Structure 1
Amino acid sequence: MTQSTSGSFWGRVTEKTEYFWNTNLYFALMLAVTAVSMLTQNVVPSTVALAVLCAWMLVFCRDILAAALPFLLIFLLSTLQYNDLSVFLPCAPLAALVIGGLIVHLVRWKKPAVAGRSIRSLLAVSVATLLGGVGFIPASQYFSPLSVYYTLGLGLGLLAVYLLLRAELELPRSYDLLYRLMQLLYTIGLAMVLAVGSYYLHHWAEFSQCWELPGISYRNFAATILVSTLPAVFYMAGRSRRHLFTVLLWCAAMFFSGSRSALLFGAVMVLLGFVYLVKRNYLPLWSFFVIVASVTVIMALFGSQIYDMFFGARGDPDHFISPTEERWLLLDRGFADFFNHPLLGIGLGNQKNIDLFAGVPGSMVFYHNAVLQVLGSMGIVGVAAYTLLLGDRLRLLLHDREACYMAGMYYLGMLMVSMTNPGLFCPLPNAALTVLVFTVLEKCVDGPAAALHRRK
């Protein structure tokens, strides 16, 4: 990052802020600030502090990635009151602080717009989300605040995020862009590990009475974050083997989240992570077989107890997915909605399936399957748009670079979780974070600083 050329107080603060952004202390501070609310179960302190830090970074740091982490961490605080997000309403005025900081940032550091390779597909998705359900969804539902949030958040909002980031990433920087992205994902994932750990810290008495995993309300959100950020842990383990211990933390958090998606897809990601370490010669091949053998022995000795702990508190512990779960009926509804409204679907904000959906307040009616979410909500137009988006992203991932492998692992994790959970259809943080990952990947592959993908 270039130093400020100004000798003014404003310039000196900018120089100090940018220096701080380029130290490990930055990530430690963001995690520590998040931990305050996690440990006290009070959403206000960390929300206020993260919003202030986000605005500060926008105003005094020319690299917008410095503001991305505190902004995204705010949404992880929703784990504290997942069934009553109204507790965040007193913090709503802080949005003006962040928006004001963004305006100052854009005015202070003007950058030309860059039409990257993803603009076409994101524009197509924006059109699909706006047209979804037109002619069928009631106007009161289409224009409801919740519907507007998802319609714009998954369409024009992501396009705006992409254009902003693509222009900002043209800025010269002295650090390895891939490494910085992995640090960001690592910190977000570690915050979710902390969230799961804090839950058990505050509910240990209930857990220790029966030794069965409780039904954590945000387990699907936890699964999404933990599974998708696992690649960052293996990337760090490739740089220092001490991070292999952190893999165990992720695995423990995925198990104790009680999410079947985390258990199933997390296992896939762990396997791919060790394949990455062996392929890159960061670990010897024999160590991979030792790990597999160790897990096999543990499951042979304690598999029954582990199974009872994980499934014991569920209504139907004899099935990994109970045949009576409402998600099966939602899948049927998804196909029916598509066949009845094939062109534009029923719309993202449509409430017709509310009788089958037991979501938290503030969430749309999800089908819990990304493919059916596109089919049922946006019809053929949505299928065309998301196929275009998927094609653009896959073409990026086909380049033979470490950045592509890491981004590919992240995307695979997010896609897998999206087959059973809302996943990519949550604008913040999931969809926006995915746009961030692929915008950075574009810069690594296409930009003049592409060589930064290599390790120093």
Structure 2
Amino acid sequence: MNIARTINLKDLKNKYENFTLSKYYNASIFLIICMCYLFAREDIGFLILVIAIISNWILIDDMLPMILPLFGCCIIVLRLYNGWEKLVDFWPLLIWACVALVFHIVYYRKEIKKSKLLLPLLATTVALFLGGVTNISAKDYFSFNSIYYILGLGPLMLIFYFLFRHHLNPNRKYNTFDAIVDIANTIGGIVIVMLVIQYVQNIFLPIKALGDMEKESAAVSKIINTHLQFGNNLSTVLLMVMPFAFYKAKKTKWLNYAYTTLGSLECLAMIFTMSRSGILFSMMFIIFYMIYLFKDNKIRDKFKNILTFTLPLIITLIILIVKRGYWKLIFKIAFNNMSLLQEEALVLLFAVVIIGIGLYAYIDLIHKNPKKRSNILMITEIVIISFIAILVLFWKYLFGALSQLGEARVEMANIAVQNLFKHPLFGTGMGYTGMHDIYKPHGLMLNSYHCVVLQIIGSMGMVGILAYGYAFHKKYELLFKVDDKKFSYFILPIIGLHAMSIINPGIMMPLPYAMFEILILAVAENYLDRKAAKFI
């Protein structure tokens, strides 16, 4: 009797594992998040997803089924800027999640692999802990937000790196890269649906109720700024997952149109996040992917791909032209009412086009020259380091010109550079509160300079510069070793994430951005391992 019961439980466990590794599981998570978001019950969605994570850690030795619900937990709560009290009652679940994670690591322990990013991640962890030592008060250093970001960006990323290296596809049941691609495309679909729901429920209807938009521009501005204040987060997520739609478009025959359309919609969604950085990066990647799709071997496929990609863009452009008064005001508000002159707008558009073409040429150069990649990486690093050094050394002259723009980010940059010169060794730490008069973080938000470079030099000084410089070098060195057709799809999400991190917190946010970076890097390293190469 006991034997039969054991067999039944084992069969049930195997069936559950097979379900979590299937596309039906991704579809279920997709529906749960979208339905909870539609009815503004993010708390219920969050609860279901956390329970799924805990269950997966206990029942399954594979980390893959945990990725989508964890990512879902992060994005479903993005609009709760002033509604975090919905989630306060769930804090005991964090304890259970920690217990489940420890159980997973111990019970499903694996043979330890030699890992190339272990030392770089240890170095950044040390830099995070040393940041601000002797330079800020104990109260600021040990504040909840400071400890969250120190532990989240340091030890937590080490744990995720260990799990993704050792517990991702341990039984070789599926193609790891394709599974990550499916998760990324599901996330992209979720963000698009979230944005549509937000527009219909909280933007279109309230604006329509106002009547004359021009007369009520202040009210329109309040609606846009209130309900799209998480636009930077949405555009960052889209920039990370966008390349994977085009991977599936190239790989699949019958679903080519669907995935190309998904990629096109993700580009459009970035524009409608009303994030200035999202709008500019979207335009840049539209150029990038148009070149990418046009470089197909068959002439018929060239035009088929371009038509599929541009059709949603053309339809959207027609709608914008027909309702140009309506959308002109909304986009003007998105850019903080700083209307560009026609000449300035054309210069900006031209620059975006050139950068998009340049990015494609750069990726293509790396892809076609596997033997020269180390030289290309070295030259790239020299250019970037020289550029940053010039900016820092001559900042006092640049600040005089840039301060006239009246941008808060310019003031933040000035404080970061000043902190580097005042506290060159350890910076001012993640708990620094000296710029709250410019930017005061809300909830769990970082005391952020809104730029990864400024965050490193301001918060961790020379120790942080050396640690993160070493880590970035090792990360790209690893990615540059992927020498087949998957190279572009490994490196583009990282480039997109790092590009967005130049003007937003980005990878200085543990969940989901730093975790996603670690995931892609761990999958790339697994891909390069000889033992795993034939399975991945």
- The alignment status of 1:103 with 2:185, answered yes or no, reads no
SS in 1 for 2:135: coil
Please list, as runs of the form range in 1=range in 2, the aligned pairs for 1:215-294 lying within 5 A after superposition: 215=225, 216-238=228-250, 239=252, 240-241=255-256, 242-279=258-295, 281=297, 284-286=301-303
Please list, as runs of the form range in 1=range in 2, the aligned pairs for 1:301-312 lying within 5 A after superposition: 302=321, 307-312=328-333
Please, which moves more after superposition, 274-283 or 103-112? 274-283
Query: Per-residue CA shift, 1:158-188, capped at 9, x if unaligned?
Result: 1121112212137131211111111122222
Distance 2:62 2:289 in 1: 30
Distance 1:270 1:13 in 2: 46
Please list, as runs of the form range in 1=range in 2, the aligned pairs for 1:38-437 lying within 5 A after superposition: 38-169=37-168, 171-203=170-202, 204-208=204-208, 209=210, 210=213, 214-215=224-225, 216-238=228-250, 239=252, 240-241=255-256, 242-279=258-295, 281=297, 284-286=301-303, 302=321, 307-312=328-333, 314-319=335-340, 323-398=405-480, 399-437=482-520
Query: Per-residue CA shift, 1:265-300, capped at 9, x if unaligned?
Result: 122333333444445659844467766799699879
Per residue, is there more helix in 1 or in 2? Answer: 2
Distance 2:197 2:316 in 1: 26
SS in 2 for 1:413: helix
Distance 1:449 1:14 in 2: 25
Distance 2:499 2:486 in 1: 20
The percentage of aligned residue pairs carrying the same residue is 26
2:526 aligns to what? Answer: 443
Please, which moves more after superposition, 313-322 or 79-88? 313-322
Cα separation, partners in 2 of 1:288 and 1:170, compared to 1, 3 Å: closer
Distance 1:123 1:437 in 2: 18
Structure 2 contact 169–176 (Cα < 8 Å) conserved: no
- Report the AA paired with residue 74 of structure 2: F
1:3 aligns to what? Answer: none
Structure 1 contact 36–45 (Cα < 8 Å) conserved: no
| Cα shift at 1:323 | 1.5
Query: Per-residue CA shift, 1:309-360, capped at 9, x if unaligned?
Result: 3124654231489921211111111111111111111111111111111432
Distance 1:281 1:61 in 2: 43
Query: Per-residue CA shift, 1:119-141, capped at 9, x if unaligned?
Result: 01001100111111111011111
Structure 1 contact 43–80 (Cα < 8 Å) conserved: no
Query: Per-residue CA shift, 1:191-210, capped at 9, x if unaligned?
Result: 22222122112212123453
Structure 1 contact 123–159 (Cα < 8 Å) conserved: yes
2:399 aligns to what? Answer: none
Cα separation, partners in 2 of 1:26 and 1:273, compared to 1, 3 Å: farther
- Report the AA paired with residue 326 of structure 1: A
Distance 2:84 2:36 in 1: 14
TM-score (normalised: structure 2): 0.77
Cα separation, partners in 2 of 1:259 and 1:167, compared to 1, 3 Å: same
- Report the AA paired with residue 259 of structure 1: S
| Cα shift at 1:114 | 2.2
Cα separation, partners in 2 of 1:281 and 1:206, compared to 1, 3 Å: farther
- Report the AA paired with residue 25 of structure 2: Y
Query: Per-residue CA shift, 1:79-116, capped at 9, x if unaligned?
Result: 23123323211121222332333233234322122231
Cα separation, partners in 2 of 1:168 and 1:309, compared to 1, 3 Å: same
- Report the AA paired with residue 336 of structure 1: Q
- Report the AA paired with residue 235 of structure 1: Y
Structure 1 contact 169–443 (Cα < 8 Å) conserved: no
- Report the AA paired with residue 396 of structure 1: L
- Report the AA paired with residue 436 of structure 1: L
- Report the AA paired with residue 90 of structure 2: C
- Report the AA paired with residue 432 of structure 1: M
- Report the AA paired with residue 253 of structure 1: A
| Cα shift at 1:411 | 0.6
Please list, as runs of the form range in 1=range in 2, the aligned pairs for 1:28-43 lying within 5 A after superposition: 28-43=27-42
Structure 2 contact 243–263 (Cα < 8 Å) conserved: no
Query: Per-residue CA shift, 1:223-250, capped at 9, x if unaligned?
Result: 1111111112212222232212212331
- Report the AA paired with residue 193 of structure 1: I
- Report the AA paired with residue 34 of structure 1: I
Structure 1 contact 133–344 (Cα < 8 Å) conserved: yes
Distance 1:402 1:389 in 2: 25
Cα separation, partners in 2 of 1:175 and 1:273, compared to 1, 3 Å: farther
Query: Which structure 1 residue ranges, 5 or more long, are not aligned?
Result: 1-5
Structure 1 contact 13–60 (Cα < 8 Å) conserved: no
Cα separation, partners in 2 of 1:244 and 1:289, compared to 1, 3 Å: closer
